[in-house]
């Protein structure tokens, strides 16, 4: 992240300097016999000196403060500014003495030196406060940027988990079909190739429409049918308007995989999976007919879906198990958040 350069508005610098210069003329003007020329030179000295203090500290502060970052306060810069200011003020009052010979040099130079020290102290403290506020804002922005980058990286990792997980299961299915000398093995390979072409086109998206997700699931069901035939059934009970909502890619496919992984799928005991809308949630439901020896879990499916929804909506999916049916309820997303 590019750090913004510390700046103080020129309007503030000049307006504060001129205002302070004008204020110093008030005591002179209030005298019984005011000296207009002396008041003007006094205002010019104060204004010029204040401008010097502003710009000297503005250009020196970042360098000195960086060297004293543990405290954030640079005493060397302050002392150097005061020392240079005292010399400058002495020269400026000396010039005023040349212009106004009647000027009582001793008391006047003492007054201006004290004024210069006060201006240095006050404006350095003000500038230091502005600079520290600027640095704090930069740190906060950097932390927010890092947090966003970290969340983005985590989410990208979640998306990248999906394809390897699906490939692992698809190859396991293909292996079983080849071992059984299934005549549909070639068609399975062709459909698998088409399916991966589709996934490559959508891999960078955070969300796709539910209608597109259903297309993915239908393609996946074709691959499953090649293996299980009538041993698995999928039913949709989704209102037309819900098809226009959004969903993380491959969510439904992962949930169907999860059903197959843990439940018996056979011609004698078909697995019936239903997908429907209920109370603003998309529900994926299957009867519990658990395997005695379930497949080894890669612990990607449900956890991946849950974390992706939490990243996108700050919500978790709902999981219900009433000993007869297993349900996963997904929040409906009505806004495209790919950007």
DSSP characters for 64-89? Answer: HHHHTTTTS--HHHHHHHHHHHHHHH
Is 295 strand, coil or helix? coil
Share of the chain above pLDDT 90, in %: 19
Strand partners, 278: 281
CA dihedral 217→221→223→224, nearest 10 degrees, is 130
Query: Lowest-pLDDT range, 153-167, 290-304, 316-330?
Result: 153-167
Is 320 strand, coil or helix? strand
Question: What rounded mean pLDDT belongs to the chain?
Answer: 80
Question: Does residue 335 register a pLDDT over 70?
Answer: yes
pLDDT of residue 299: 52
CA torsion through residues 102, 106, 108, 109, sign: positive
Alpha-carbon span 49 to 318, nearest angstrom: 69
Is 270 strand, coil or helix? coil
pLDDT of residue 144: 75
Question: Is pTM beyond 0.85 here?
Answer: no
Which two structure tokens, joined as six digits, stand for 159?
């998306």
Question: Does residue 203 register a pLDDT over 70?
Answer: no
Residues 6+ apart with CB under 8 A from 327: 283, 284, 285, 318, 319, 320, 321
Residue 317 and residue 212 in contact, taking contact as beta carbons nearer than 8 Å: no
More confident residue, 213 or 77: 213
Question: Does residue 320 register a pLDDT over 80?
Answer: yes
Q: Tell me, what DSSP letter sits at residue 269?
A: S
Please state the rounded mean pLDDT for residues 243-264.
Answer: 88
Please state the rounded mean pLDDT for residues 287-305.
Answer: 74
Question: Does residue 188 register a pLDDT over 90?
Answer: no
Phi-psi sector, 262: left (phi>0), alpha (psi -120 to 50), beta:
alpha
pLDDT of residue 338: 59
pLDDT of residue 1: 44
Cα R_g (the chain), whole angstroms: 38
pLDDT tens-digit readout, 129-185 = 887 787 788 778 777 776 665 555 555 545 555 556 566 767 777 787 788 777 777
More confident residue, 257 or 324: 324
Residue 286 and residue 272 in contact, taking contact as beta carbons nearer than 8 Å: yes
Alpha-carbon span 16 to 125, nearest angstrom: 15
């Amino acid at each position: 992240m590019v750090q913004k350069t510390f700046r103080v508005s020129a309007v503030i610098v000049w307006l504060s300097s001129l205002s302070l210069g004008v204020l110093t003329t008030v005591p002179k003007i209030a005298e019984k016999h005011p000296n207009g020329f002396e008041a003007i030179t006094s205002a010019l000295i104060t204004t010029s000196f204040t401008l010097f203090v502003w710009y000297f500290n503005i250009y020196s502060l970042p360098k000195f403060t960086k060297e004293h970052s543990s405290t954030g306060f640079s005493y060397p810069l302050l002392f150097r500014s005061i020392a240079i200011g005292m010399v400058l003020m002495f020269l400026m009052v000396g010039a005023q003495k040349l212009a106004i010979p009647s000027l009582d040099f001793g008391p006047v130079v003492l007054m201006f030196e004290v004024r210069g020290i006060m201006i240095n102290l006050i404006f350095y403290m003000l500038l230091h406060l502005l600079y520290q506020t600027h640095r704090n804002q930069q740190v906060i922005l950097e932390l927010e940027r890092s947090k966003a980058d970290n969340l983005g990286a985590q989410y990208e990792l979640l998306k990248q988990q999906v394809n390897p997980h699906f490939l692992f299961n698809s190859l396991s299915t293909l292996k079983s079909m080849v071992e059984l000398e299934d005549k549909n093995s070639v068609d399975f390979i062709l459909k698998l190739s088409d399916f991966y072409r589709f996934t490559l086109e959508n891999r960078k998206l955070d969300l796709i429409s539910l209608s597109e997700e259903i297309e993915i699931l239908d393609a996946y069901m074709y691959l499953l049918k090649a293996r299980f035939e009538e041993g698995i059934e999928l039913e949709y009970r989704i209102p037309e308007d819900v098809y226009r909502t959004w969903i993380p890619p491959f969510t439904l496919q992962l949930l169907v995989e999860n059903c197959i992984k843990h439940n018996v799928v056979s011609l004698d005991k078909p697995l019936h999976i239903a997908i429907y809308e209920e109370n603003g949630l998309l529900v994926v439901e299957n009867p519990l007919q658990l395997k005695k020896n379930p497949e080894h879990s890669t612990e990607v499916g449900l956890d991946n879906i849950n974390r992706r929804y939490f990243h996108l909506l700050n919500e978790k999916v709902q999981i219900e198990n009433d000993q007869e049916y297993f349900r996963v309820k997904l929040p409906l997303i009505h806004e495209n958040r790919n950007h």
